[in-house]
């Protein structure tokens, strides 16, 4: 089992594996997002209160979910990198940040656009909104901290600690709507028992969540490949690969 | 044999636990300040700070919305089903504002016991359904049925 683990963590092995994976992840994610978006914007009925404005959830919810989940992924990868001294794990953590920050930003913007007509305000300093903004700043802080170091090993160590410390914010984002009175509505699909959304509105949302998640994995693979190559460009496998690649047929 | 690795593992767990405990304790200490709004019952109990702006949250009492013709002046009652507070407001109300809807008003308590709002926000619940489902739920008298956003209430409010 451990040989498998270490083999996967070996950069050249990962580089070869991920090459075949990216087109599948990307293709499947785009199909799912197309189906989910069509289902959400065209097939799903309008909401009894919000009318067509509720359709923002088909972008907002997957983005917000990924904004939080990518942070957890980043923290776990950073933790593995620190504890087991695995360089690939640090490369994964570093690659997560930009993608996570983008989804978090998308969730903030779509939420604000929806909030103006529905709540009557773009922004409120409410527990859910504020903790989610903190999540966005944690991503920015992580990226800024990394870029402040010239030495890659030091950047890995310092940013990993920030990623781990910041992970306590994720449960606060998740439970803020239950712990405190908030303007933001409570969870809809993760409620115990019946989700409080009808099936014809729910399925496009679930399809889009799956699509967005696969899209994240595709982006992550692409970024980690670039990150690994940059870190190891002096290693023999990378030099051989680059020489072969120039002649065509990278694999 | 892997003491070094184990020590790092415990160190990471310790750091995360310590930060979680510290943040948890601070949040508990600031619990009152994190309260986004007060309910009418809390308001009657004198919990909100006196002479300061605060937020009042609750449901709009059905049939309580009164508009001043020819102006943006509006009055309505906000209730938590135990206490009720009359709110006066001048301005444009959000789309979701209607009878029975959860709202949050920012303002001050006037001497006559009314709440003078400077801003009114509508709170949305976590239920999503097509209008037909909402109607049939209401027709069956379902306990969690949404207050019907009937055509009658719509034009009067907008």
* A6/B contact by beta carbon, under 8 A: no
Question: Is the model's pLDDT at A246 over the cut of 70?
Answer: no
Output the domain CATH number for residue B79. 2.40.50.140
The verdict on residue B124 lying in a domain is yes
Q: Give the Cα separation of B63 and B46 in Å (integer).
A: 27
Contact criterion met (CB below 8 Å) for A250 and A226? no
- Contact between chains at A46 and B121 (C-beta distance less than 8 A): no
The per-residue pLDDT for B2 is 62
DSSP states along A162-187: HHHHHTTHHHHHHHHHHHS--SS---
- Contact between chains at A181 and B35 (C-beta distance less than 8 A): yes
* A52/B contact by beta carbon, under 8 A: no
A34-39 contact pairs (CB < 8 A, 24+):
A35/A204, A35/A207, A35/A211, A36/A204, A36/A205, A36/A206, A36/A207, A36/A208, A36/A209, A36/A210, A36/A211, A37/A204, A37/A208, A38/A204, A39/A203, A39/A204, A39/A207
Question: Is the model's pLDDT at A196 over the cut of 80?
Answer: no
A133-184: per-residue pLDDT in tens?
A: 999 999 999 999 999 998 999 999 999 999 999 999 999 999 888 887 778 8
Collect all residues of chain A within an 8 Å Cβ-Cβ radius of residue B9: 83
Range of the domain at B79: 40-129
* B137/A contact by beta carbon, under 8 A: no
Mean pLDDT for B39-57 is: 84
Question: Is the model's pLDDT at A238 over the cut of 90?
Answer: no
A27-77: per-residue pLDDT in tens?
A: 999 999 999 999 999 998 888 888 888 899 999 999 999 999 999 999 999
* B18/A contact by beta carbon, under 8 A: no
* B73/A contact by beta carbon, under 8 A: no
Q: Give the Cα separation of B2 and B5 in Å (integer).
A: 5
Identify the band that residue B33 occupies on the pLDDT scale cut at 50, 70 and 90.
low
* B134/A contact by beta carbon, under 8 A: yes
A240-248 contact pairs (CB < 8 A, 24+):
A241/A12, A241/A15
Tell me which H or E stretch contains A1. Answer: none
The verdict on residue B76 lying in a domain is yes
A6, A39, A48, A60: best to mutate for the B interface, most B CBs within 10 A: A48
Q: Give the β-pairing of B84-90 and B73-79.
A: antiparallel
Of B27, B31, B128, Cβ closest to residue A201: B128
Taking the CA of residue A212 and the nearest CA in chain B, the distance in Å comes to 21
A58, A119, A162, A178: best to mutate for the B interface, most B CBs within 10 A: A119
The verdict on residue B32 lying in a domain is no
Collect all residues of chain A within an 8 Å Cβ-Cβ radius of residue B124: 49-50, 118-119, 185
User: pTM, whole model, 2 decimals?
Assistant: 0.84
Collect all residues of chain A within an 8 Å Cβ-Cβ radius of residue B16: 164-165, 167-168
Quote the number of domains for chain B. Answer: 1
A4-22: per-residue pLDDT in tens?
A: 767 777 888 888 888 889 9
B68-104: per-residue pLDDT in tens?
A: 888 888 999 999 888 899 999 998 888 888 888 889 8
* B103/A contact by beta carbon, under 8 A: no
The per-residue pLDDT for A176 is 87
Question: Is the model's pLDDT at A248 over the cut of 70?
Answer: no
The per-residue pLDDT for B156 is 32
Of A118, A121, A180, Cβ closest to residue B36: A180
The per-residue pLDDT for A112 is 95
A81-96: per-residue pLDDT in tens?
A: 999 888 899 999 999 9
* B7/A contact by beta carbon, under 8 A: no
Question: Is the model's pLDDT at B149 over the cut of 50?
Answer: no
User: What dihedral angle (degrees, nearest 10) is formed by the CA atoms of A182, A186, A187, A191?
Assistant: 130
* B32/A contact by beta carbon, under 8 A: no
Contact criterion met (CB below 8 Å) for A88 and A9? yes
Identify the bridge partners of residue B87 per DSSP, sorted by sequence position: B76, B115
Q: What is the ipTM of this complex?
A: 0.71
Domain boundaries, chain A: 22-186+200-237
The per-residue pLDDT for A216 is 97
- Contact between chains at A191 and B127 (C-beta distance less than 8 A): no
* B125/A contact by beta carbon, under 8 A: yes
**Mean pLDDT across chain B:** 79
The verdict on residue B31 lying in a domain is no
Q: Which residue of A has its CA nearest to B101?
A: A49
């Amino acid at each position: 089992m451990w040989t498998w683990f270490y083999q996967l963590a070996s950069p050249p092995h990962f580089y070869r594996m991920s090459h075949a994976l990216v087109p599948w992840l990307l293709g499947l994610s785009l199909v799912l997002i197309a189906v989910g978006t069509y289902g959400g914007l065209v097939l799903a009925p309008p909401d009894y209160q919000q009318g067509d404005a509720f359709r923002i959830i088909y972008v907002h919810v997957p983005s917000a979910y990924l904004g939080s989940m990518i942070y957890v992924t980043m923290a776990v990868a950073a933790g593995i990198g620190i504890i087991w001294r695995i360089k690939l794990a640090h490369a994964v953590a570093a690659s997560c940040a930009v993608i996570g920050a983008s989804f978090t930003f998308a969730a903030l913007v779509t939420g604000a656009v929806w909030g103006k007509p529905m709540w009557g305000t773009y922004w409120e300093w409410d527990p859910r909104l504020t903790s989610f903004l903190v999540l966005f700043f944690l991503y920015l802080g992580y990226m800024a901290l990394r870029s402040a170091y010239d030495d890659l090993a030091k950047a890995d160590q310092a940013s990993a600690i920030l990623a781990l410390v910041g992970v306590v914010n994720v449960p606060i984002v998740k439970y803020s709507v239950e712990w405190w009175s908030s303007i933001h509505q409570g969870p809809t699909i993760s409620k115990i028992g019946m989700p409080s959304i009808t099936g014809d509105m729910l399925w496009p949302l679930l399809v889009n969540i799956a699509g967005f998640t696969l899209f994240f994995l595709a982006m992550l693979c692409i970024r980690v490949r670039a990150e690994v190559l940059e870190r190891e460009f002096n290693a023999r496998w990378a030099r051989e690969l680059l020489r072969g690649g120039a002649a065509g047929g990278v694999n | 044999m892997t003491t070094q690795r184990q020590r790092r593992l415990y160190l990471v767990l310790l750091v995360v636990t310590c930060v979680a405990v510290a943040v948890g304790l601070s949040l508990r200490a600031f619990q009152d300040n994190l309260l986004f709004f007060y309910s009418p019952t809390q308001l009657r109990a004198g919990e909100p700070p006196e002479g300061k702006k605060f937020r009042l949250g609750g449901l709009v009492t059905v049939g309580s919305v009164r508009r001043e013709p020819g102006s943006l002046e509006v009055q309505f009652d906000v209730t938590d089903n135990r206490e009720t507070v009359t709110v006066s407001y001048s301005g444009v109300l959000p789309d979701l504002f209607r009878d029975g809807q959860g709202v949050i008003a920012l303002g001050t308590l006037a001497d006559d016991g009314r709440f003078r709002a400077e801003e009114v926000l509508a709170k949305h619940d976590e239920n999503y359904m097509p209008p037909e489902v909402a109607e049939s739920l209401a027709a069956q008298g379902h306990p969690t049925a949404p207050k019907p956003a009937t055509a009658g209430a719509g034009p009067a409010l907008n």
